[in-house]
Amino acid sequence: MSGFTRGPALLFCPADRPDRYAKAAERADAVILDLEDAVPPGSRPAARDALVASALDPLRTIVRVNPAGTAELAADLAALARTPYRTVMLAKTASAAQLESVAAQDRLGLEVVALVETAAGVLAAGEIAAHPSVVALMWGAEDLVASLGGTSSRFRDGRYRDVARHARSTVLVAAGAHGKGAIDAVHVDLADHEGLAAEAADAVASGFAATACIHPSQVAVVRAAYRPTADDVAWARAVLAAADGREGVFRWDDQMIDGPVLRHAERVLGRIR
């Protein structure tokens, strides 16, 4: 099981909007201060200054930095060194080798959330997840499709296209294979709370540790989806109670109960907040 515990609702906040930092941190389980796509290049120096001047909870703060091999990343890491924040999200992670630019900051002891959002990154998801600096993987649909020369990650009815579903599953499995957390991509249709709720419910059932949000209104939807229902909790407690003192497979309430089912029940109780 992953040790990534900053979810379930992670809220992006542009790093050039320090007036929003505290509100974002209050509303979500963790805030992602974004120095990359959310900030125009000309505003990034001021955004870094705002980052340095901020005073959020380091355990609930993630800083999205620019891609490896860019001068922007070097400037981001220099600013980060002047803060207490030690969890970074590396944008457009395409290989394990790219993680070395962050891992080289040994004195900072940085933990990395690798954002896998290109075709190369999806192909390298396993080696990325295996890197010792990585604590979680997140996937991104829109940049992925753009890297393939496509124009849309979803059908008109809101369903992901097969290529996006493949990337989502690949990142989840790669993260799980190496004991790292997996973070589900943002839902860009802000008005579609029903679609977000369905995706978040699927995410938690599939094994994602968290879902990223781009608007405060999405936080409550994600939290509700990750929170087990009263029926879920009652089932989990009853199954575990029935297993007490038993070994191997047994029948309970017309269900076959074995080790994996017991682990499912434990996961349900672990999500109680």
Which segments are annotated as binding site for Mg(2+)? 117, 143
User: 123: which 2 tokens?
Assistant: 């192909």
Asked if residue 183 lies in contact with residue 113, where contact means CB atoms within 8 angstroms, the answer is yes
Residue 2, domain member (yes or no): no
Q: Which domain holds residue 244?
A: 230-270
User: Where residue 178 sits, what CATH number does that domain have?
Assistant: 3.20.20.60
Least confident of 21-25, 181-185, 187-191, 237-241: 237-241
Least confident of 24-38, 197-211, 219-233: 219-233
- Do both 156 and 41 map to the same domain? yes
Domain count for the chain: 2
pTM score: 0.90
Backbone angles phi, psi at 41, to 5 degrees: -50, -40
Asked if residue 98 lies in contact with residue 65, where contact means CB atoms within 8 angstroms, the answer is no
Our CA angle for 114, 118, 124, nearest 5°, is 65
Residue 3, domain member (yes or no): no
Which segments are annotated as binding site? 64, 117, 143
Residue 91, domain member (yes or no): yes
- What is the tens place of the pLDDT at every residue in 32-89? 999 999 999 999 999 999 999 999 999 999 999 999 999 999 999 999 999 999 999 9
Which segments are annotated as binding site for substrate? 64, 117
**Cα–Cα dist 269/267, whole Å:** 5
- Do both 55 and 37 map to the same domain? yes
